[in-house]
Amino acid sequence: MTAFYRQSGSMMSDRKSLSSLADEFGTPLYVYNRGAIEHAWQEFETALQGHRHLICYAVKANSNLAILNILARLGSGFDIVSVGELRRVLAAGGQADRIVFSGVGKSAAEMAAGLEAGIRCFNVESDAELDRLAEVAAAHGVVAPVSLRINPDVDAQTHPYISTGLKENKFGIGMSHAMDSYRRGAEHASLAIKGIDCHIGSQLTRLSPYADAVALLIDMVDRLADEGIRLSHLDVGGGQGIAYSEDEASLDIGAWADCVIQGIGDRDLEIMVEPGRYVVGQAGVLLTRVEYLKNNEDRHFAVVDAAMNDLIRPALYSAWQAIEEVETLPRESQVYDVVGPICESADFLGKQRSLAIAQDDLLCVRSAGAYAAVMSSNYNTRARAAEVMVDGDDAHLVRARENIEDLFANEYLLP
């Protein structure tokens, strides 16, 4: 589904022009498309039909309440990594028994909150966490449902900051120790061993890393069954990639599902999956206005009102995202570095982009629905951008622009 398209030279989302949204809500502005979010989630639902499954949207990709509510209405589960995300999901109408709690550093208080809410499962990542969860569950007089996250040492061939399945990464329990961890968990009366989990990295567009990981996990499932530890689900994590440029291709979700199902074979295992970027990435854009055009000898800069505090992916990951004019006008094009007003050389949205623009024009940063607004900050005491959801003829404000005075309302002068 194409969430954003051109009509008579103007960029549109459904029946709303992006220019009209910028005029109404100001810039920088995040714009999301409801239909695109629903369509991407349904791709997983369709691909996994006929096999027991639970799609758990990875809240860290974009935790806006409106997005969570859209997915909750579809019957989605949720993958969380903090008590804050737990509270967001519940506030948005998500069901606790469809929540899995991931993350390497869960506190005792977070474990207690998950148990009190009645979540579906804890994805445990170390023996120390396993023991702590057993203690917390025993203290609350309940049995905690547990899946162990295994680090299969599979190279996802992605950016090192979003690779999570190698033994050098902090995530998961190593293959050589995993059997002992399962035995250890089975000995705790306050734990119920339910599944096996892995997440090998983010922005994966090839099937082979998934196939390799599933094969390794299935071998462990069989060995555990031989010891009397029978698992009920296989959580294959997330990481399904999208196309940020014309040279890239998104992961084929139908082929991905076939790969996982074939790997499981005739074993009675529910499939869990934790997509984030794939569901929301292409469903969002960032709108920004050109403040100045500046030349430094042979280098040309488009200085815009969005900055690395609004979109940190280019600075953090050297990420590339398409940048386009919102309105195509008969102007001569020039190659620009698109930069923000923050006092850092890393403050750029894109470098060496061919654009036909003038001062006050609008630019659109594509593929900005995931790991964008959710990673924004107040660096340089900048208010975070507003967020809008387009749904047909309507545009709903789903996060108001921050008020600058509120940014330091909880700070105090010395007496």
DSSP 376-396: ---TTTPPPPEEEEEETTEEE
Structure tokens at 23: 């005029």
Residue 124: which residues within 8 A CB-CB, separation 6 or more?
130, 133, 146, 147, 148, 149, 185
Query: 255 and 295 in one domain?
Result: no
CA neighbor of 148 nearest in space, from 208, 96, 222, 221: 221
Determine contact, residues 186/192, Cβ cutoff 8 Å: no
Q: How many helices (H) and strands (E) does the chain have?
A: 12, 21
Given this model, what pLDDT does residue 298 score? 87
Last residue of a domain, one of 245, 265, 280: 280
Determine contact, residues 91/65, Cβ cutoff 8 Å: yes
Query: 222 and 349 in one domain?
Result: no
Query: 208 and 174 in one domain?
Result: yes
- Bridge-based pairing state of the strands 144-151 and 77-80: unpaired
- Crossing angle (nearest 10°) for helices 83-91 and 65-74: 60
What's the CATH code of the domain at 180?
A: 3.20.20.10
When pLDDT is averaged across residues 374-389 and rounded to a whole number, the result is: 98
Last residue of a domain, one of 280, 303, 330: 280
Residue 412 lies in a domain: no
Q: Is 117 helix (H, G, I), strand (E, B) or coil?
A: helix
User: Above 80 in pLDDT, residue 31?
Assistant: yes
- Which has the minimum average pLDDT: 113-122, 169-178, 284-293, 315-324? 169-178
Query: 212 and 72 in one domain?
Result: yes
Given this model, what pLDDT does residue 247 score? 87
Determine contact, residues 92/72, Cβ cutoff 8 Å: yes
- Bridge-based pairing state of the strands 191-197 and 173-174: unpaired
Given this model, what pLDDT does residue 176 score? 87
Residue 232 lies in a domain: yes
CA neighbor of 310 nearest in space, from 358, 342, 353, 270: 342
Residue 187 lies in a domain: yes
What's the CATH code of the domain at 344?
A: 2.40.37.10
Query: 260 and 231 in one domain?
Result: yes
Residue 149 lies in a domain: yes
Query: 63 and 17 in one domain?
Result: no
- Crossing angle (nearest 10°) for helices 175-186 and 127-139: 20
Query: 401 and 380 in one domain?
Result: yes
CA neighbor of 18 nearest in space, from 374, 253, 366: 366
Task: Spot the catalytic one: 198, 259, 343, 364.
Answer: 343
CA neighbor of 120 nearest in space, from 172, 62, 195: 195
Determine contact, residues 385/373, Cβ cutoff 8 Å: yes
Active site residue 364: no
Given this model, what pLDDT does residue 157 score? 53
Q: Rounded to 10 degrees, what is the CA torsion of 266, 272, 278, 283?
A: 120
User: Above 50 in pLDDT, residue 191?
Assistant: yes
When pLDDT is averaged across residues 203-209 and rounded to a whole number, the result is: 91
Last residue of a domain, one of 245, 280, 315: 280
- Domain with 326, as residue range(s), is 5-32+281-407
Q: What is the pTM of this model?
A: 0.95
Query: 131 and 240 in one domain?
Result: yes
Query: 340 and 276 in one domain?
Result: no
Query: 40 and 20 in one domain?
Result: no
Query: 17 and 166 in one domain?
Result: no
- Which range, 129-138, 168-177, 207-216, is most confident? 129-138
**342: which DSSP letter?**
S
**How many residues in the chain?**
415
